[in-house]
A and B are shown apart, each in its own frame.
Chain A
Amino acid sequence: MGNYEKWKTLMDAFSGQKPVENMPSFPEVPIVQMVQTLCSIEEQVWGMYAFEREPLEGKISLGQKKQYIKAANECGRSWAKKVMKEYETAQPETIAKKMGIAVKKTARPIGGEIVLFAQFVRPNEITIFTDCIHKANLLEKECDCKILQEDILEKILLSHELFHAVEEKHQKEIYTHTEKIELWKKPFSNRSKIVCLSEIAAMAFAAEIMRLQVSPYMLDILLTYSYDKNAAYGLYEEICSLQAQFHDEAIL
């Protein structure tokens, strides 16, 4: 840090320009090893990872979660088969076109804490943020992980978002929308979807369309890695501890 930066950091701190944040630092892991481990993580464990981020997590028991994860993965795969059959193609771009979805690409740099990879805006618009794809492409050279290749990665992102479009189109029948839990006590009623089921199913959907042997969920960690290594190590640590927990339970 040069003198100017030091002075500026000091002044910023004192004038309240930047709030103090203490992000813990996580143990570093070589990227090659990280990729290897991530490839071996089961679907069920990724499901638990998704539930860690579910706002209604506190309302659902462990046993229920496991059933939900199974059903959501099934749902994603079966809809992938249905969609590929209906549109007679496994190319996500073609499926999008036939479904009447507008696919946009934006290069907009998207660093910072929330890194966006892609999004689906109701009712029919998908945006892919290409910045993360370019960054991933550089990473691919370091670790030789197929799903980080530019064209494959883009298709995975698109397929994931396509699932949300399919959900939108088949709201009345699709499992991720029909499965609900009751939040209020009788006689009142507020039945809610479980948001993370959509994400679990979307990953399974993308994996099926792209014929992947691994879960696209690992992109969460790998794409974050190119923006913020420490944050990626944090996510990696989380998934590893979930994996360990899962195996302990399996032995018991």
Chain B
Amino acid sequence: MEYVIGILLLISFVGLAVYAVRGGNLMMGMLIMGVIWTVLPLIGNTFATNPDFVAGYPGVTDISIVDAITRVFQSGPEGWGSVLVNVMFGAWFGRVLLETGIADALIRKAVELGGDKPVIICVLLSTVTTAIFSTLFGAGAVVAIGVIILPILMSLGIPKTLSIGSFMMSVGAGMYLNPVLSGQFLAFFLGEDGKQLITYDDPMRLKWAGIGLAVQLIMVILMCVFSLRKKKTVHAWSASAQRKARPGYVPSIALVAPVLPVVLLVVFHVPIILGFIIGSFFALIACGKLKTFRGACRVLNKDFYDGVVDTAPLVGFLLMIPMFNKAAELCVPYFNALLGNVIPNNTLVISIVFAVLAPLGLFRGPLTLFGCGAATLGILKGIGFSTPYLYALMVIPSITMNVSICMTQSWVAWGVSYAKVSTKEHLKKTLPVAWIVCAVMQLITYVMFG
């Protein structure tokens, strides 16, 4: 019986992968999978006869139907409430950086340092982008920064594929340290009592995240240097959008605002929401936007509203993931019965497999936590690896493959269509680089946590 259910689960897993690759709606996909992965193990539990199997997983194989559906459909999304709140505050902070013109000013400063040298510009803008997105989160923010940076890159004759590839991968590099995205990953690792098993400011995790940011940024820079060595730059005549009204004066001191919340968190252990609030007020005051109390209220209100609207597209999907995630936990006994003997209980082998198969993090595949990877994690958890190791193992392909280059990531899809690059061209440029980043990071993970 266990095997039958296990095989059915695997088939549905493949089904989801196919559905995701074919561009199916993922919110719906996650919901359907959540239902299937709740129903199948419940059926299995009813008919399981093997006493060893039943006794092996107390609290899972003997769970009542009501408990199971409560855990999946109620506690699951509720548990992500805290993540969502972080996302909202992060989005507000992002809006402030955009509205005050700080992000714009930072980019301009970088361009005015680099001039017409494509390599220097690529390096500077990648670094600035990474710094900005070590705090900022959301498709709205990526689009807002993208429409400033991409035309500059292209006007300097940098090929479209490289412009998009380097920009999106720099965003991804920042994501390693990004508290909002990290919060989403950390929510996959909750104990029985709902407490986080690993936290953002865990020193080893933080060190690892910093290394991840550096490795990906360095690879992006190498990609730029390597791609531009032949000087095959392009001069295109294209219509550009209407120029944006220049934001008001931004003093130099305000330019540190983007990294302020992360610095406060890492160095002074200021919780991230307070960090966002301090960062926002610092930015607004430095740029002279808070001169009167009434004006301050208006600015605050508008930025918060716009920020929340920015994240709205994400919320639905974010709230379906935990259902799937919780349902995957119910399936662990069946995956173990089927695959337990196949999957090695050896971190070196697992690390090598993850490095070699890193592209399976694309198209919501089995190695990204924003896709079927939620199930992979469930299986691996059942085998019993340490939490920091599992965290790093799964987060690498989730960030470097899914968030950085995959077409199923909303902002990557936006960028690729913005510049009219084909999916094939885009992957050809970015996949080899992303793959190397994954391999290097898996090696580092093995050394640190393996």
Contact = CB atoms under 8 A, between A and B. Distances in A.
Interface residues of B, number: 52
A19 B142 contact: yes
A115 B243 contact: no
Contacts of A196: 155
A157 B238 CA distance: 11
A15 B28 contact: yes
A16 interface: yes
17 contacts: A11-B28, A14-B315, A15-B26, A15-B28, A17-B410, A20-B139, A112-B420, A113-B241, A114-B420, A120-B235, A160-B237, A183-B113, A184-B113, A192-B114, A195-B155, A234-B242, A235-B242
B236 A195 contact: no
Given A14-B313, A15-B28, A157 B237 contact: yes
Given A56-B115, A195-B116, A18 B242 contact: no
A18 B111 contact: no
A195 B314 CA distance: 38
Interface stretch (B95-103, B226-234, B335-343): B226-234
Interface of B: 25-28, 108, 111-117, 120, 139-140, 142-143, 151-152, 154-157, 231-243, 309-310, 312-317, 410-411, 413-414, 417-420
B312 A117 contact: no
A149 B281 CA distance: 55
A65 B231 CA distance: 28
Interface stretch (A74-82, A97-105, A134-142, A216-224): A216-224
A218 to B, nearest CB: 11
Contacts of A192: 114-117
The 8 lowest CB-CB distance pairs between A and B, nearest first, are A192-B115, A14-B316, A19-B139, A234-B242, A15-B27, A224-B239, A119-B236, A120-B235
A187 to B, nearest CB: 16
Contacts of A190: 113-115, 117, 120
Interface residues of A, number: 58
A12 interface: yes
A117 B25 contact: no
A52 interface: yes
A42 interface: no
Interface of A: 8, 11-21, 26, 52-53, 55-56, 58-59, 110-122, 157, 160-161, 164, 181, 183-184, 190-196, 198-199, 202, 220-221, 223-224, 231, 234-235, 237-238
Contacts of A52: 243
Contact of A122 (B152, B155, B233): B233
Nearest to B231: A122
A202 B25 CA distance: 46
A13 to B, nearest CB: 5
